[in-house]
Chain A
Amino acid sequence: QKEVEQNSGPLSVPEGAIASLNCTYSDRGSQSFFWYRQYSGKSPELIMFIYSNGDKEDGRFTAQLNKASQYVSLLIRDSQPSDSATYLCAVKGGGGSYIPTFGRGTSLIVHP
């Protein structure tokens, strides 16, 4: 069974700090990796996706992928109180797989 593991948190950081969110996955054949943000009572919304080893930056967000170690992380720079949400990691296998597996999410609290 494909598993995606995230620390449920909460992760608490002060405003302006860097928040680091981590995710590990079990399926070594996984090809696509996604980070979603979910506010309480709302549906998940995409932050970014990454396919290749290394870093991918989009504004204040950086996704990091290490396939050898089977982990993917999300860094949020200059954290704002509006970043307080649950961050979901999702992983999709290769070989024509169309079904992503989601982690349980990490709750992030950014305090002023």
Chain B
Amino acid sequence: DTGVSQDPRHKITKRGQNVTFRCDPISEHNRLYWYRQTLGQGPEFLTYFQNEAQLEKSRLLSDRFSAERPKGSFSTLEIQRTEQGDSAMYLCALPDSPTDTQYFGPGTRLTVL
């Protein structure tokens, strides 16, 4: 148990629809990360939060993507007008201090038809 849950675990949607994923840390963590992983690739950084502040965003995070962490606890990642290229595993991770080891949640697998 890595101390983080993600919901839903699987999502199938049609192209053009909006989807929202949620990440819930079991305990308090200052920092929270989102990654995307496609088949045959390692996790690619999308964004991270320090409490409720979104401190850095990857250029992978187009204007169709938005992430929030309103109370510095759970976080949501929304994708608007989904495209087939958005099909991937979306991973939430909590870092361990002081090593910064990333502890990943189970992920949300998105399939865009």
Contacts and interface: CB of A to CB of B under 8 A. Distances in A.
Interface of A: 4, 8, 32, 34, 42-46, 49, 88, 90, 92, 98-105
Interface of B: 2, 31, 40-45, 48, 55-56, 89, 91, 95, 99-107
A100 B106 CA distance: 19
B101 A43 contact: no
Contacts of A45: 2, 104
A34 B45 contact: no
Contacts of B45: 99-101
A34 B101 contact: yes
| Consensus secondary structure, chain A interface | strand
Contacts, number: 53
A49 B99 contact: yes
A104 B38 CA distance: 10
Contacts of B89: 43
Contacts of B100: 32, 92, 98, 100
Contacts of A103: 42
Given A32-B99, A49-B99, A98-B31, A105 B104 contact: no
B99 A105 contact: no
19 contacts: A4-B42, A42-B106, A43-B91, A43-B104, A43-B106, A43-B107, A44-B43, A44-B102, A44-B104, A49-B101, A88-B43, A90-B102, A98-B48, A98-B56, A98-B95, A100-B45, A100-B100, A102-B44, A105-B42
